[in-house]
Amino acid sequence: MEIIVEKVNDLSVQQSAIEIVERKGLGHPDTLCDRAAEELSIAFSKYYIEKFGRVLHHNIDKCLLVGGRSEVCFGGGTVTTPMHLIVAGRAVESVGKEKVPLEEIARETTNRWLKEQLRFIEPEKNVIVETKIRTGSAELLSTFDSSIPLANDTSIGVGFSPMTETESLVYHTEQFLNSPEVKRKYPMIGEDIKIMGVRVNDHINLTIAIAFVSRFISSKEVYFDTKSKILEYIFTFVKKLTTCEVSLVLNAADNYKKNIVYLTITGTSAECGDDGQVGRGNRANGLITPYRPMTLEATAGKNPITHTGKLYNLTAGEIAAEITKEPDISGAECYLVSQIGIPITEPQIIHVKIRSNLEKKIIEEKCRKVIHKHLGQIPRLWAGILEKRYSLY
C-alpha cells in the first residue's frame, strides 16, 4: 500500500473565475434509480442477516427507469402508460434448500419507498417493477469469506473537502425545496427538482427545474402566478446562504404565449418526459461537480461489505473532511484505488492533495494519522450504510 501526500499551490475552485455545479433532486428519474438500487441492497442485506446471520454477496447497481406516458391538464390528468423499473444485478438466490424471495423483496421494497418519496404516485398502478437478478460469480462470492473482506472490484474512490459556497448553495437549495416545510406551503412543488449552478466571479446563476403537480394548478394564469411567488420565495432563501449576487431562472422552457408549462401528475418527469439510470446522477456527496475530481463509479446498490466502488467513495470523502478540520489546511482531495482480491483495508494507492501553508512534513504526519484511522473503519461501514447514515447520491 502506497500513501502519497502532495502539497499543491494551484488555484482552488473557490478562487477560480468559473464554477459549475449540479444537483438532481430526490424525484429526478436518475435519483429514483439510485434510490431503487440502494433500497434493494439494504433490503437484501437485512434479509440475509435475519435468515443467515450475515450479509451475503450482492450487487444491485444496474437499474433502469423507462419513463411512462401521461395526459396532463390543468387540475389533473391521467398516467396512461406506467413507468417501468428494470432492476438488474447479482445476489445470492438460495442457501442450501432455502430460496431467497428476491422478486418479492424487490417489489415490496420499491412500492414502499416510492410511496414515501413521491407524494402523488400510486406505485401499484403507475410503476411496473421487473427484476433481472442472477447469482454472482464464484470469484466474487469468495471475497466475502475472509476475516477482513477482500475487494470485489478494482475501483476508484474520490472525495474532497470543504464544499465551495456555490456547491453548498446548490445542495441546500434542493434540500430546502424538497423539505416538508416547503411542501406544506407550496404543495404543487413536485419532488423532481434539478438545479444547475453557474458562478462567474462573484455572480451565481441558478437554473431550477421543478415539476409542478397539476392537481394544484387550475389554469395557465394560476401556474405563472404561483411560479412567480415560488421564485421570490426561493430568492429569499438563497440570499441567506451566499454573499454573491444571485440570479434565478425557474422552469426556463416555459412560454406563456405558446402555452408551454412544466406540469406533471405525479411530481416526476419519469411519468412521461424522462428516463433514468443508476450512476447518471449525483456522486456520493450529493452533487455533480465537473470542476472537482470525480469518478464514474456508482455507489448506490453495491454491496456494503466488499465493494470498494461504494466503500472507497465514502472513505475518501470522510478522509478529506477530517483533514480539513485542521484550521491550517484549507482544502483536501483524496483518491483511493483498490485491487480486486486484496483486503479492503489495503488500497493499492492512496493519494491526498492538500492546500496549506504548513510544512510538508507536518502535513504528511497529520494526513497519515487520519488515513490509517479511516482505513481501519472500512470493515464496519456496512452497519452505518444499512442505517442510512451516509450520503450516497
Range of the domain at 317: 2-15+153-163+280-386
Q: Shortest CA distance to 54 belongs to which of 290, 240, 305?
A: 305
Both 157 and 286 in a single domain? yes
pLDDT value of residue 275: 97
Number of domains composing the chain: 3
Is it the case that residue 54 has pLDDT exceeding 90?
Answer: yes
pLDDT value of residue 136: 72
C-alpha cell at 206: 441558478
**Residue 229's pLDDT band (cuts 50, 70, 90):** very high
Both 299 and 159 in a single domain? yes
Q: Assign 373 to helix, strand or coil.
A: helix
**Residue 143's pLDDT band (cuts 50, 70, 90):** low
For residue 204, what is the domain's CATH number? Answer: 3.30.300.340
Last residue of a domain, one of 259, 277, 295: 277
> Per the domain annotation, does 312 fall within a domain?
yes
Residue pLDDT, tens place only, 264-280? 999 999 999 799 999 99
> Per the domain annotation, does 392 fall within a domain?
no
Both 105 and 6 in a single domain? no
Both 213 and 133 in a single domain? no
> Per the domain annotation, does 393 fall within a domain?
no
| 127-134 vs 83-91, strand pairing mode | parallel
* E-assigned strand segments in the chain: 2-7, 18-24, 58-59, 64-66, 69-73, 76-81, 83-91, 94-95, 98-99, 127-134, 156-161, 189-200, 203-213, 245-250, 263-264, 276-277, 329-337, 349-356
| Structural contact between residues 94 and 48, judged by C-beta atoms closer than 8 angstroms | no
Cα gap 255→265, rounded to integer Å? 20
Residue pLDDT, tens place only, 328-360? 999 999 999 999 999 999 999 999 999 999 999
Both 259 and 304 in a single domain? no
C-alpha cell at 177: 425545496
> Per the domain annotation, does 71 fall within a domain?
yes
Cα gap 111→372, rounded to integer Å? 41
Residue pLDDT, tens place only, 7-23? 998 889 999 999 999 99
Is it the case that residue 138 has pLDDT exceeding 70?
Answer: no
Both 186 and 55 in a single domain? no
Both 54 and 131 in a single domain? yes
Share of the chain above pLDDT 70, in %: 98
pLDDT value of residue 273: 79
Q: How many CB atoms lie within 10 A of CB 170?
A: 30
For residue 50, what is the domain's CATH number? Answer: 3.30.300.10
Burial of 342 (0-12, 13-18, 19+ CB in 10 A): middle
pTM of the predicted structure, to 2 decimals: 0.94
Residue 22, Cα to own-chain centre: how many angstroms? Answer: 12
User: What's the mean per-residue pLDDT of the chain?
Assistant: 95
> Per the domain annotation, does 260 fall within a domain?
yes
Both 267 and 287 in a single domain? no
